[in-house]
């Protein structure tokens, strides 16, 4: 734990936390005495997997290749992050692994997201884009999230050569990473705190209710007042502005198809897992 003078203290959580559902997690602001954390201050937000509180922004790391870029995964991350009201920043890394033409094509598709989110292209080999990170972290709590093997720890190592985080070859056989990072820890980086997180290979939505999904799609949300019905889910309803815009090609068809799949998936989640 760090105090206001940035001195570090090793403290135990008071026994009382064992009897409540709450226990201190990375990112918590706490009250403490000489030995114990006695109280946790109200949280702005909290992610459950991995458990981190008071996050200002999530840097979603997506690799161009190894593992392949996945719009499906990007949309899933965006949903989870928007649901917690955290600001997402999209990073596309390993640009060195993609030929010029294919990269141009990918950038073209991703440009849709640039209307709503900051997008940074980078590579730990060519160091493209690494300058852009220097202003990103000041006075903020940020987390690096993304698929295993996407290059989260590698990028952090390039941004601060003192970090020396463990990284690993991605498995050629599986075409994905091997969960090299096993826990979350905070590091100081360019005047802020950053947590590297273990990669995800599958994202679940057990904490999300189906009726909250449409508002987590900010591109849909912006247009939803033009749907005929209030609370339109943009699926079967007539005179739905979102469906019109998909047909006109103004909303990415893939994003809308993924949305329908995710809505269906959340609807079919076993109620015992639902909050």
Does residue 251 belong to the site contacting Zn ion (CB under 5 A)? Answer: no
Give the residues across from 36 on adjacent strands. Answer: 12
User: Using the rule CB under 5 A, which residue among 98, 150, 232, 262 binds Zn ion?
Assistant: 232
Give the whole-angstrom CA distance, residue 163 versus residue 149.
18
Q: Would you count residue 86 as binding ligand GTP (CB under 6 A)?
A: no
From residue 181 to residue 210, the character string flagging contacts with Mg ion as x (rule: CB under 5 A) and all else as - is x-----------------------------
Please report how close the Cβ of residue 56 comes to ligand GTP at its closest, in angstroms: 21
Using CB under 6 A as the binding criterion, the count of chain residues that bind ligand GTP stands at 26
Compute the distance between CA of residue 199 and CA of residue 66 in angstroms, rounded to an integer: 14
Query: Is residue 177 within the footprint of ligand GTP (CB under 6 A)?
Result: yes
Question: Which of 14-22, 96-104, 128-136, 178-186 is the region at the interface with Mg ion (rule: CB under 5 A)?
Answer: 178-186
Report DSSP letters for 163-229, one per residue: ------PPBTTTTB------S-EEEEETTEEEEE---BSS---TT--GGGHHHH-HHHHHHGGGSSS
Q: Does 153 bind Mg ion (CB under 5 A)?
A: yes
The greatest distance separating any two alpha carbons of the chain, rounded to the nearest whole angstrom, comes to 63
Query: Which positions touch ligand GTP (CB under 6 A)?
Result: 93-94, 96-97, 123-125, 146, 148-154, 167-170, 177-181, 198-199
């Amino acid at each position: 734990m760090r105090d206001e003078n940035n001195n570090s203290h090793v403290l135990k959580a008071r026994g009382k936390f064992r009897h409540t559902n709450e226990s201190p997690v990375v990112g918590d602001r706490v009250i403490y005495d000489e030995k114990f954390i006695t109280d946790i201050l109200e949280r702005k937000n909290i992610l459950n997997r991995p458990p981190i509180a008071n996050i200002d922004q999530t840097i979603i790391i997506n690799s161009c290749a190894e593992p392949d870029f996945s719009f499906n995964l990007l949309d899933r991350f965006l949903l989870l992050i928007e649901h917690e009201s955290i600001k997402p920043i999209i990073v596309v890394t390993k640009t060195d692994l993609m030929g010029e033409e294919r990269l141009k094509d990918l950038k073209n598709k991703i440009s849709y997201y640039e209307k709503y989110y900051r997008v940074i292209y980078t590579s730990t080999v060519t160091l493209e884009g690494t300058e852009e990170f220097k202003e990103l972290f000041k006075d903020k709590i940020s987390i690096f999230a993304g698929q295993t093997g996407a290059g989260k720890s590698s990028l952090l190592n390039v941004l601060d050569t003192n970090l020396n985080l463990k990284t690993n070859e991605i498995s050629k056989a599986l075409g994905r990473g091997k969960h090299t990072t096993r826990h979350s820890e905070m590091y100081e980086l360019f005047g802020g705190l950053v947590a590297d997180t273990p990669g995800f290979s599958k994202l679940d939505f057990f904490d999300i209710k189906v009726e909250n999904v449409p508002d987590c799609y900010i591109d849909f949300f912006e247009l939803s007042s033009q749907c005929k019905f209030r609370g339109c889910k943009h699926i079967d309803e007539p005179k739905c502005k979102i469906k019109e815009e998909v047909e006109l090609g103004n909303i990415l068809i893939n994003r809308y198809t993924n949305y329908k799949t995710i809505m269906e998936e959340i609807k079919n989640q076993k109620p015992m897992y639902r909050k």
